[in-house]
A and B are shown apart, each in its own frame.
Chain A
Amino acid sequence: MIEAKNLKKIYRSRRGDRVAVDGISFTVGEGEFFSFLGPNGAGKTTTIQMMVALLAPTSGEIIIDGLNVVTSPHEVRQRIGIIFQDPSLDDRLTAWENLEFHGRLYGIDSRTRNKRSNFLLDVMGISERRNDLVRTFSGGMKRRLEIARGLLHSPRLLILDEPTLGLDPHSRRSVWEYIHRVRREVGMTVFLTTHYLEEADSSDRVAIMSSGKIVAQGTPDRLKKDLSSEMLSVETENPDSLNAYLISHYSSLEGQIRREGDGTLLFPLPPGLDLSPWDLLRSIPLPIREASVRRPNLDDVFIYHTGSGLKSENADKRGGR
C-alpha cells in the first residue's frame, strides 16, 4: 500500500537548512496497521505531509497504491483519509456542513454523502449536534468529527497523526474501537503516529523514528525481544555506585540504564551472557532495597532507541510506584 524509498526532506530557510526527514525507507502492506513512534520533532508529521503531497520530498519517492505521490497527487489523495495533528475544521460552519463540503471536494454524489454523513455522525456520537457550529464543540467532539470526515470518502488508507490527542480515556477507547472495526470490516490500511504506548502496541508493525531516521522497525513483539528478554528494576540506597558497578561489569549496559524515582535503576538484562536475572542481582555487592523483573514493553524499546519516554494512560500510576 505504501512504499517509501530514501525519503528525505530538508526545510530550507534563511537561518539555515534543517533536515527533518533523513532518507527513510519503509513499506506498509495492504490492510496493515502500521505505527510511527518518535519523540517530538522526529519528522513524523513531515513524512505524512509528503505522503499526501502537501510537501514535495527533497529526494526519494513514495508510492501509494501503485501511484507515485508526486506525479499523481490527486489520485493518491482520493484514496487517503487523513486526521491532522492540528485542528483543521472550519469552526464557523456546522458539523454537517463540514462533512457536506468535504464530500463534495472528494466528488461524492449527494445520496452517498448524506447516507455516510448520517451514519458517521451517529457512530461518533455527535448526531444531535449536527447543526451546531463547530466552534461550540468540545475538543473531543471536534476530534471525532474530524475522524468522521476522514472516513467519509471511504479511503483505502487512513492516516492518523496523533488522532487521540486531547481525548479522555473513554473517548479514546471508543474511537479506537471504531477504527479497528473499520479496519476489520472494510480492510482499510491504517498509518498512525502516536506517543501512546497502548496504541502502538496494538499495531501490526512499528517503526521508531528519531531525528529524521528510522532507528528500528518490526512487530512490537520482535522489537521487545530484540531489546532483551527481561527488564530489571533495582532500588538501592546508593544508585550512583550501583550504576558504576553495572557499567564496569556489564559494558553493554553503557547508556541503557535509566533512573526512575529517587533510587531506582531500570535496565535490560545484558544479552549473550547466559545470565539469569537472579544471577545478576546476586552478584551486586551493594544493599538492595527492592528488586523486580518484568518483560520489556514498547516504552523500553522506545527509550532504548530514542533516549526519551512514551506517554502512557497509566503514566501517573507508574510514576508513583
Chain B
Amino acid sequence: MIMEKEYSFKATLGGAPPILASPIKRDLMGIYTLWQRDVIRLWRDRIRLVGSFIQPLLFLFILGSGLSPRMGAMGIMRSGRALGYQGFLFPGIVAMSVLFTASFAGVAIVWDREVGFLKEVLVAPLSRTAVVLGKIFGGATNSVVQGSLILLLFPLFHLRISPERLILAFLVMILIGLTQTSVGVLLGVRMTSSQGFMVLMNFVILPLFFLSGALYPLDRLPGWLSVASRIDPLSYGVDLLRWDLVGVHYHSLLTDLSSLFVFMGVMGVLSVILFNKTD
C-alpha cells in the first residue's frame, strides 16, 4: 500500500521571522563553518595530500644529496660541528611545502567563485571579513597539515629533534601558513579565472621560494638579492624554522617574529579591504 505522506510547511518553516544573533557571534560561527568546510574538503582529497609529498621529497633526496658534497664545504657550523647540506635544506623544504599548500587557499577562493559557491557565502548574513578569515584559517590549517607530514620525516635525514622543538616548529608553521595564506587570498580575491590565478601564482610563489633562503644561506648575498630576500616574508619563516630545527639563523628572532606578524597583518587587512570592494 502506498502511503501518501502529509507535509506541513507551516509546522516546520512557520513561526516568527528569524532573529539575528549578534553580528560578532554570527561572524565567529561563519568563520568556524568556512574553516570546517575547508578541512572536510582536504580530508576528502587525501590523494592530493599524498601526491604533494613527492615534490618536497625530490628536493630533499635529489637536490640535497646532489649538492651535499659541495655545499658541505660552505662551513655552516652548528654547536661546533659542521651541518650537512641536507640538514640545512630540511627546514627550508618544510617551509616550502607550507608555502605551496598555503598558496592554494588563493586558488580555492577563485574556484569557489567559478563553481558559484562563493555566491552562496556572499549572500549569507555574514561580513566579508569573516569570509576572508575563514578562508585564511582553512588554508593555513591545510598547509600546516602538509608541512607537518614532511616535518615528521626528519629521522630519514639523520636529524635529531626533541619533542619540544617539534611543537615549536608546529607553531612556526602556523605562523608561516597564516602569512602565506594571506598572500594567496590577497591575490585570489579579485581573480575570476583559476587559470589566470595559476599564471600569476607562478610569478609569485617561485620567487618567494627562491628568495627565502630555503636553498642557500642568506649571508654574503649580492646586494640586490639581499634586499629582495628581506621583503620576502617566507625568508623570516624559514629562518625561524631553521633556528628551531637545526640551530642556524641569520636574523634575530625578534626580527623574524615581528616581520612575520607585520606581513600577516598587512596581507590580511589588504585582503579584507580588497574583498570588500569586489562585487
Contact = CB atoms under 8 A, between A and B. Distances in A.
B18 A107 contact: yes
A74 B23 contact: yes
> Taking each of B29, B121, B123, which has the highest tally of chain A beta carbons within 10 Å of its own beta carbon?
B123
A160 interface: no
Size bracket, chain A contacts: 35 or more
A154 B33 contact: no
Nearest to B120: A88
A104 B119 contact: no
A269 interface: no
Interface in A47-69: 52-56
Given A105-B33, A115-B12, A119-B7, A52 B123 contact: yes
A86 B115 CA distance: 9
B18 A75 contact: no
Contacts of A102: 120, 124
A107 B25 contact: yes
A107 B40 contact: no
A55 B121 CA distance: 14
Contacts of B115: 87, 90-91
A156 B30 contact: no
B8 to A, nearest CB: 7
Contacts of A92: 41, 44-45
B167 to A, nearest CB: 31
A104 B7 CA distance: 24
A89 to B, nearest CB: 7
Nearest to A88: B116
A116 interface: yes
B15 interface: yes
A11 B44 CA distance: 39
B18 A154 contact: yes
A105 B10 contact: no
Interface string B1-32: 00001011110111101101101011001101
Contacts of A123: 7
Nearest to A115: B12
A80 B119 CA distance: 14
A54 B120 contact: no
A123 B13 CA distance: 12
A93 B26 contact: no
B94 to A, nearest CB: 27
A106 B23 CA distance: 11
Contacts of A185: 8-10, 13-14
A73 B123 CA distance: 9
B33 A101 contact: yes
B62 interface: no
A153 B16 CA distance: 11
Interface string B53-92: 0000000000000000000000000000000000000000
A172 interface: no
A82 interface: yes
A78 interface: yes
Interface string B132-159: 0000000000000000000000000000
B37 A101 contact: yes
B25 to A, nearest CB: 7
Contacts of B18: 78-79, 106-108, 153-154
Contacts of A56: 279
19 contacts: A54-B119, A74-B20, A75-B125, A77-B123, A77-B124, A88-B120, A92-B41, A106-B18, A106-B124, A106-B125, A107-B21, A116-B13, A119-B7, A154-B13, A181-B7, A181-B9, A182-B13, A185-B8, A185-B10
Interface of A: 52-56, 73-75, 77-80, 82, 84, 86-93, 97, 101-102, 104-108, 115-116, 119-120, 122-123, 133, 149, 151, 153-154, 156, 178, 181-182, 185-186
Interface of B: 5, 7-10, 12-15, 17-18, 20-21, 23, 25-26, 29-30, 32-33, 36-37, 40-41, 44-45, 115-117, 119-127, 279
